[in-house]
Amino acid sequence: MTKQLTPKEIVQSFTDTFKTKIKNPRIETHAAGSKPTEFIHIWMNVDKSIFKEAVKHLTTLENYPHLAVASGYEWENTIELVYHFSIYFGERCKEISLNMTVVLPKSKPEIDSICDIIPGALITEQEKQEMLGVTVKGIPKDKRAFVSDDFPKGMYPWRKDETGASGKMVRNLHEGDK
């Protein structure tokens, strides 16, 4: 086990390695309970060109970083993915959540697969392909996982533009059958 870094050192190690490719890092401290117990959430924007390198860098901090899931949403002309990692679990109050936001242009929403580093990322990568229309380059299983095979191609339920779930596909049950 490598030495555990403090939240500031973690952010420092990323900015030292990737310089300007890491933007807006912020460290949030939250507290709960009577004592209270504090814990840390780190957020940072990672440039898509070094995203995979950044995940590799994460494995130097923790042998097996845990990837909970990747969230995602459309924002103006971009698609933003937020990868939720956690490191240093296994000891009381030591775990740090690390959230990496990657901004992809809507014209070419491509991101590298990280399944070769974290095999458990497969399902969440499949989900981002189907729900947001992101292309995950090098995904080991390029098959639909959540939406059915007969769901229209080129339609992505989480998008808010014309490629999102359209009015026809939505049935408002409270309006009754029409």
Q: Does 1 bind another protein (CB under 8 A)?
A: no
User: Of 72 and 109, which has the nearer Cβ to another protein?
Assistant: 72
64 makes contact with another protein (CB under 8 A): yes
96-135 burial by CB neighbour count: b if 16+ within 10 A, else e? Answer: bbbbbbbebebeebebbbbbebbeebbebbbbbbbbbbbe
Coil, helix or strand at residue 81 = strand
CB of 115 to another protein, least distance (A): 8
What's the closest the beta carbon of residue 83 comes to another protein, in angstroms? 10
Q: Are the C-beta atoms of 106 and 133 separated by less than 8 Å?
A: no
141 near another protein (CB under 8 A): yes
Q: Collapsing DSSP states into helix, strand and coil, what is residue 65? A: coil
In the complex, least distance from residue 16 CB atom to another protein, rounded to whole angstroms: 25
Lay out the sheet containing 78-87: strands in order across.
Answer: 22-32, 37-46, 96-105, 78-87, 66-75
Q: Which of residues 15-34 bind another protein (CB under 8 A)?
A: 28, 30, 32-34
Site residues, another protein (CB under 8 A): 28, 30, 32-37, 39, 41, 43, 63-64, 66-69, 71-73, 82, 84, 86, 89-95, 97, 99, 118-124, 140-141, 143-148, 157-158, 165
